[in-house]
Amino acid sequence: MRKTCGLFIVLILAAGMLAAGCTSTQSSGPGPENTLVVGEMWRVSSINPGDGHGGGTFITEKAIVTETLVGADANFTLVPNLATAWRQINDTTWEFDLREGVLFHNGEEMTAESVVFSLDRVAESSPGTATLLDYNSSEVVDRYTLRIHTNTLNPLVPGTLHYPDTAIIHPDSYDASGAFTTPIGTGPMKLESFNEQTGEVVVVKNSEWWGGEPGLDRMIIRGYESPATRAMLAESGEVDFTVDPPYSEVDRLDALDGVHVEKYNTPRIYKLDVNLNRPQMDDKNVRKAISHAIDRDGIVDNVLYGVGSPAGGVFLPTMTWANTTLKPYTYDPALAKQYLAESGWTDTDGDGYVDKDGKNLKVKVVTYTERPGLPPMLEAIAANLKSVGIEVETLSMENSALTVAMADGTWDLYLSATNLAMVPDPEYVLKGWYTTTGSSNTAGYSNPEVDRMIIEGHNISDLDERYDHFRRIEAIVYDDLPTINVAYYGVAVVMKDTVNGYKFDPTAHDYRIDPFMSISA
């Protein structure tokens, strides 16, 4: 019955796609035997790696059409990729050696000239990326060497060049007017078609890839934002590979004939941003109470079904710069009530809720629906808070609608699943989340000591000294609780048993397609 339902939904979706029309010139029919059909978790709206709007993540990690100069290993240590080595020449100059013999998909060799062109265009089209690089200019030293000039000292340059939005594309990716047209990259797959109306992307094998012979001949990628839909498509066999079905479905899917599920940790964290502009949330005792009221182990076991782990500090313990002394806040309802009482919040009328000055302590907790762990986690957290006497209002909706709903500032806690390593360096997260003017400081947090330390840390180039410095900052925000860390994110990868050779990349945004995967009969 479930399979029939899933197939019925797929047929409806397919009919909708046909009705919408198609802008591509290529068919997405069955194709060669080694064709992987991917159920992506977001609708594909961009294939431009430099647009600053998700195109880089998709086209670099999921379609594997483009590549970055710098890679990262499982501990998030930077490693060569399109660049084989790099060095700091002076405070504002970095020199990069390029891998020789790398061909773009149009057959032309990657040279310093084409890389400089690509970086210049990214800096023009994505102000956020240009800011991360502190980009001034680039110059060609010789055919396989270039220099990047920054405005000030910036140790983040190599790490930022791991960011998918900095992926290298050929100048012919733009038309005569300078407008982006198609990503001509160096990756193991090359673009065949992109249907802007349906979001379907088709890529084919790049037999000239410098990294070896790709295992897949073709890949068809379609976005399905509903976790339940992704589960049904995996069960019905309409997709070969997808991620993050409802976590309550993981064990059932894994038990199906012909399907298996693999669980991995990813550089992402479930966290509650605290709205410090709300008077009750600006009270550190209340924040401590909320953190101790949350049953992190119970959430991981019973809500996430083991897909993840309880969170202590901001960073995963596997990250080389993480402060591993920071353990998850203990689940201690009695201690939570004690913190509330210290700030005058007690149940004076016996209604089960703490109150002060005749008003109950009430918090509004909000989240979005696209990631399967968030809505059930929201309900679990609400139950935890109610158990210590906090009245809770919850709101769960699609991300775009939630952004509008939060604009009035009446929310208290915002539950999200946020990436930690688009740039493999602690400054990227700590500066964005916790400086007074940080680009992702949703909490409205302001601590002059943290601001000062992050400025100081930016100028430390020695990695051991740098990481120790940022570990101290991580400890400060762990104690201040402008964000309450709940769990490290886990991803559930659902594959047909006919999919072979998949190796998970723990540094990827959600997941990275392995170029050496293949499909067996």
Radius of gyration in angstroms for the set of CA atoms belonging to the chain, rounded to a whole number:
24
| Phi, psi values for residue 93, rounded to 5° | -135, 125
**CA dihedral for 371, 372, 375, 380, sign (positive or negative):** negative
Q: Do the strands 35-40 and 218-223 form a parallel or antiparallel pair, or are they unpaired?
A: parallel
Q: How far apart are CA 284 and CA 225, in angstroms?
A: 37
Q: How far apart are CA 405 and CA 399, in angstroms?
A: 10
Note the pLDDT tens digit of each residue in 185-237.
999 999 999 999 999 999 999 999 999 999 999 999 999 999 999 999 999 99
Rounded to whole angstroms, what are the CA distances from 365 to 107, 352, 377, 394, 482? 53, 19, 11, 5, 15
- Is the backbone of residue 134 left (phi > 0), alpha (psi -120 to 50) or beta? left
Q: What is the pLDDT of residue 7?
A: 35
Q: How far apart are CA 123 and CA 136, in angstroms?
A: 9
Per the CB < 8 A criterion, the answer to whether 132 and 70 are in contact is no
Q: Return the SS3 of 390.
A: coil
Amino acid found at 245:
P
Structure tokens at 231: 């589960």
Of 233, 197, 188, the closest CA to residue 38 belongs to: 233
DSSP string, 121-184: HHHHH-HHHHHHHTEEEEEEEETTEEEEEESS--TTHHHHTTSGGG-B--GGGB-TTS-B----
- Is the backbone of residue 154 left (phi > 0), alpha (psi -120 to 50) or beta? beta
Note the pLDDT tens digit of each residue in 466-487.
999 999 999 999 999 999 999 9
Note the pLDDT tens digit of each residue in 247-284.
999 999 999 999 999 999 889 999 999 999 999 999 99
Rounded to whole angstroms, what are the CA distances from 150 to 120, 130, 135, 411? 12, 10, 5, 39
Amino acid found at 380:
A
**E strand or H helix that includes residue 379:** helix 374-387
Q: What is the pLDDT of residue 32?
A: 56
Blockwise average pLDDT, block size 10, the chain, 521 residues = 36 36 39 84 91 86 98 92 97 98 98 98 91 95 98 94 96 94 97 95 97 96 94 97 95 96 93 97 98 98 94 95 97 98 97 96 96 96 98 95 95 96 91 95 98 96 95 98 97 96 91 94 75
End-to-end CA distance of the chain: 26
Query: Domains of the chain, with CATH numbers?
Result: 2-48+57-63+188-257 (3.40.190.10), 70-172 (3.90.76.10), 266-490 (3.10.105.10)
Q: How far apart are CA 95 and CA 97, in angstroms?
A: 7
Q: How far apart are CA 132 and CA 422, in angstroms?
A: 11
Per the CB < 8 A criterion, the answer to whether 480 and 447 are in contact is yes
Residue with tokens 């410090």: 276
Q: What is the pLDDT of residue 30?
A: 44
Rounded to whole angstroms, what are the CA distances from 458 to 55, 132, 166, 286, 307? 28, 12, 21, 32, 34
Per the CB < 8 A criterion, the answer to whether 219 and 226 are in contact is no
